[in-house]
Amino acid sequence: MPENLFVINSQGEKELFSFKKVYHSVREVGVSKFLAIEIAKTIKNEAYPGIKTLEIFKKVKELLKKEAPGAAMRYSLKEGMRKLGPTGFPFEKYVGEIFSKNGFEVKLNQYIQGQCSRYEIDFLAKKDNLFYIGECKYHNLPGEQVHLNIALANYARFLDIKNGNFLKKDSFRNLRIESLLVTNTKFTAEVIQYSKCVNVKMLGWNYPRNKGLEHLIANQKLYPVTILPSFKGKLVDVFSEKRMMLAKDVFKIEVKEFAKKNKIPEEKLESMIKEAKVLLI
């Protein structure tokens, strides 16, 4: 491999190949230092000038499948969240489940009248004296980011709601009201700077640093059901309708009844349950 090997990232930009980046990405899904080093060495030896990071991802995933199937699924988290499409509604339900599992009272798709206009809010989440007005931004293409126009619209909507009558009710009197922007991808530097300035909270890929969405998911094993290799196609509509957004939800399934009612092959459901056991147990 050339000493200064450039790869093409998901945004089509050139960047230096990083052995450490590959190593740490593998270590983060729970494999041993030895295996992480061996995989990173293999990738380094097989890499070539102009290789896409997507191809590197696929190579790493294949190597993990052979040695650690559960880690291979965890490594596919970003890909799994992209499968919560093509609309953003399943992602909103998934985010709602994450907050619910963290002790929040969650309401999805609520209509709220602001001072000047009426808005559909993706989710409201309350815990103790904290109340979030949440906006979800879902992307299903690699490399997409949340840009400044989204942050500006989110804050303008939040201010209009604050100036309306909704939050003037007695039930909100002692609550800390905050705007929260959630995405399955990354925020641009402009969005981070602006949202910090206006005190909007954000949760996305690797944001906050080392406390991002992927860390919250992994630490509490709140993986989306779409991370399971057997979960394909229109199954997302079936599971979304039933609010079964987490991989662990497949353990609730009575296979024969569920298969018949939803016209899903029993073998597929049984495969998903086996995969969930490898992932979670």
pLDDT per position as a tens digit, 20-40: 999 999 999 999 999 999 999
59-115: pLDDT as tens digits:
999 999 999 999 999 999 999 999 998 888 999 999 999 999 999 999 999 999 999
CA 4: distance to chain centroid? 32
Angstrom distance (rounded) from CA 158 to CA 29? 36
Task: Inform me whether the pLDDT recorded for 1 exceeds 80.
Answer: no
Coil, strand or helix: which one is 14? strand
73: closest CA among 242, 237, 277? 277
User: How confident is the model at residue 259, as a pLDDT?
Assistant: 97
pLDDT of residue 4: 81
pLDDT exceeds 70 at position 170: yes
CA 107 to the chain's CA centroid: 19
* Residue-wise pLDDT tens digits, 196-217: 999 999 999 999 998 999 999 9
- Quick check: pTM over 0.75? yes
Distance between CA atoms of 205 and 210, rounded to whole angstroms?
9
> What class has domain 87-220?
alpha beta
From residue 65, alpha-carbon distances to 17, 225, 229 in Å are 23, 18, 11
The Cα angle at residue 168 between residues 167 and 173, in degrees rounded to 5: 90
* pLDDT > 90 in the chain, percent: 93
Q: Report the distance separating Cα 21 and Cα 40, nearest Å.
A: 9
Contact 132, 124 (CB under 8 A): yes
Kind and range of the H or E element at 178? strand 176-183
